Structure 1
Amino acid sequence: MTYRIEGPVAHVALARPDKLNGLTLDMLAELVEVAGKIKEDRSVRAVILTGEGGSFCAGLDFPSATKEPKRIAKYFVPVPSFVPLPGRGTNTFQRACWAWRELPVPVIAAIHGHCYGGGLQLALAADFRFAAPDAELSVLEAKWGIIPDMTGTATLRELVGIDVAKLLTMTGKTLSGAEAGELGLVTEVHDDPAAAAQQLADILVNQSPDAVAGAKKIFNAAWSGSPERAFAAERRTQLRLLAGENSKIARKARMKGQQPEYRPRKLY
């Protein structure tokens, strides 16, 4: 993997182009580690997630991973839900994806070429997915006789109906980027998804980082919950925003017709 910061944007790239960016056990650990670094860096306001070479990610590299059965067994052990640690309730396979979902900044996945299995689940954990029209997306686990177990069941249900989720999971059907766009599996379809991701990042980094973090937090928490839970999240978040410095900066700049100059994120 490569990881660099350019201004307020973190660029994270899977870097095994000769293996279609297939995920090794080391890469899964790196995904968790890098997400943790980004979470602690309050200067970062957006993340662009890509793959080097001709593919985004072809999924878990099974030949590589199966050479380390003891490590695989360790990766399956979840952090107990009652333990107040990052990633609680997830194991390492799941945390490699869910850590990006839990970041307090928007994550944009730029998808080209292959996006299979674990690679698709990683992309689904992003907030936005921009795909090339000829990209190939598949819940490929069906071809290996297994199920998606890297948080894909949680993220799929937010994007497609249960029948479509079952169809994709049971058949391993391959979708083009254009077809995925029609299903709502990706946010937008672009000939150059990386450039489109950068354009969106440029917009997002000019918003209040606290408001953006708050919006991500409340939608993630409330999307599958009750209206009452959503309303409570709105109230809590809004009160924190109104009391924060960046909200005051936004209001003052708006009234004066100026471009606000926000401070680093303090919320979440």
Structure 2
Amino acid sequence: MGNMLFWKKQSKPQETTESVSIDRENIPQHIAVIMDGNGRWAKKRNLPRIAGHKEGMSTVKRIAIAADELGVKAMTLYAFSTENWKRPTEEVSFLMKLPGDFFGTFMPELQERNMKIQLIGFIDELPESTKQVVLKAVEDTKNNTGMVLTFALNYGSRAEIIEATKALANEVQAGEISVEDINDEAFANKLQTSFLGDLQDPDLMIRTSGEVRLSNFLLWQLAYSEYYFTDIFWPDFSEEDLHKAILTYQGRHRRYGGLA
């Protein structure tokens, strides 16, 4: 019983309460999240889309803390894709200001929890003010040893894979390695998530809002991950919803292509 976490669900007052247990010995070590549905959450409430993004920022804090408390070692959040630049200028400008608001508000708590902030994506292409804010967050937490909270900003997996391919091709061309040296490990070491080491490949990928696709997110790293899709919009995604996702993960048998 010592390794089981219990939470209670009460959907309606007249219904009986059911207890569901999470096995603390089988927590996904790395959870990746496609935080989708902010705009639709706002539209449903007759609010501007940016209101949904602001609310989603608070959800990031809540879910990161909940994951940390469960013993998750790494969480990677898809915050802004290379395709998101196509959105209206006002929305993009607001999204570029969100990191400053997030770290300005929540950094003390992240520090208290010993979380380490990391980034993936093409950071040099971000506005200078956004770039400085996120790089400062990385610098301020570089010595922390707790859960690694990675933000994917201006990130696209196809571009990441192309850059990794070019890096290996340059090493072959320079005579530093041979073509025969290129394998899964060598390729993974050129990906932007390589700093995670053994945690590089997520155990569980969660996508909110009802969309069922990867949207150019961690295509290599998610090859053998378990996927969890929910209709819940990201601003409404709760700690209990995270528990449900983990329970679903724990109910699956990961075979990695084999039968054992």
TM-score (norm 1): 0.30
More relative contact order, 1 or 2 (CA 8 Å, 6+ apart)? 2
TM-score (norm 2): 0.30
